[in-house]
Amino acid sequence: MNLSHDYPPKRLNDSCKLANREGLARLKQIRAILTSNRDQLQEELPLTVELPQDHMNIRSPKDFH
């Protein structure tokens, strides 16, 4: 409730959403999100790595005895 005096409702909601995603539940942690402006950063996209399936250095199970 004290944070609502210093920050607009949208920032509070965004920081609480971020805290929930990261499993953070303490007021100190939510305040740290707000002071570091992490709630205003764009969401990170999940990283996916696709390995090449056809390459001369990749062996198949039949190459091993």
Domain ranges across the chain: 8-39
End-to-end CA gap in the chain: 66
Name the 3-class secondary structure at 24. coil
- Residue pointed to by tokens 């920081």: 15
pLDDT tens-digit series, residues 20-64: 999 998 999 999 999 999 988 877 667 777 766 666 777 777 877
Q: What is the value of pTM for the model shown?
A: 0.62
Give rounded-to-5 percent helix, strand, coil for the chain.
Answer: 50, 0, 50
- pLDDT for res 11: 92
- pLDDT for res 49: 74
pLDDT band for position 19 (50/70/90)?
very high
What does the CA dihedral 17, 23, 28, 29 come to, rounded to 10 degrees?
-70
